A and B are shown apart, each in its own frame.
Chain A
Amino acid sequence: GENVEQHPSTLSVQEGDSAVIKCTYSDSASNYFPWYKQELGKGPQLIIDIRSNVGEKKDQRIAVTLNKTAKHFSLHITETQPEDSAVYFCAASRYSSASKIIFGSGTRLSIRP
């Protein structure tokens, strides 16, 4: 079946440094790549997404990049802050009414003060 691999599973960075989380997907027809942030005791929340017709998207300190040829996409968080500590999930899907999202296994990000 379709698969999304996510690395690393845990990541610890110094406050103010950058964090990068990487994902690969297997379905070459995937065209929608969302990222979700899950804080302790809460449900996942969409923080940014990218469609396959663009290679990069930024929203303040968060950016996503997509390499369709290599089937890789990444989340970049710059100037990390304590509130960035959470579990982050990447996902991939065909953006249609019949295709289900496939989630990665998650990355637990910890920001050291």
Chain B
Amino acid sequence: DAGVIQSPRHEVTEMGQEVTLRCKPISGHDYLFWYRQTMMRGLELLIYFNNNVPIDDSGMPEDRFSAKMPNASFSTLKIQPSEPRDSAVYFCASSFTGPGGEAFFGQGTRLTVV
């Protein structure tokens, strides 16, 4: 398996624009997580899915953020409208053991909002 695949690797956008980040989890993993990493706040769990159903979105910072998982092999994280403070590295991870177990991370998407 190629591991968790994220796209794009880098995204630069202007404030106010919509941004969509994409993720393909490892086949057979029932759990998918979206994390945000910044110097100030470290690794933050934004939301996670189990069998394509959102289970806990308490980490989503505000209504501008939304995530979907239409099928077992694809998820998106959308920010609309984007703001400079959204600049961060966003990681997708998947797991077969749940949110408390081993997680396999993608390479991340570095988002810069100018």
Which residues of A are in contact with B by a Cβ distance under 8 Å?
Answer: 32, 34, 36, 41-46, 49, 89, 93-101, 103-106
Contacts and interface: CB of A to CB of B under 8 A. Distances in A.
A96 B98 contact: yes
By Cβ-Cβ distance, the 4 closest A-B pairs, closest first, are: A43-B105, A93-B100, A97-B98, A99-B100
Given A100-B56, A105-B42, A32 B101 contact: yes
A42 B107 contact: yes
B43 interface: yes
Interface of B: 4, 42-43, 45, 48, 50, 56, 91, 93, 97-108
Given A89-B43, A100-B45, A103-B42, A43 B106 contact: yes
Contacts of B105: 36, 43-45
Contacts of A99: 98-100
Contact of B101 (A36, A45, A95, A104): A95
B107 A96 contact: no
Given A96-B98, A101-B103, 8 more contacts: A36-B105, A43-B105, A44-B103, A93-B99, A96-B100, A98-B99, A100-B56, A105-B42
A97 B42 contact: no
Contact of A95 (B91, B100, B103): B100
Contacts of A105: 42
Nearest to B105: A43
B103 A46 contact: yes
A47 to B, nearest CB: 11
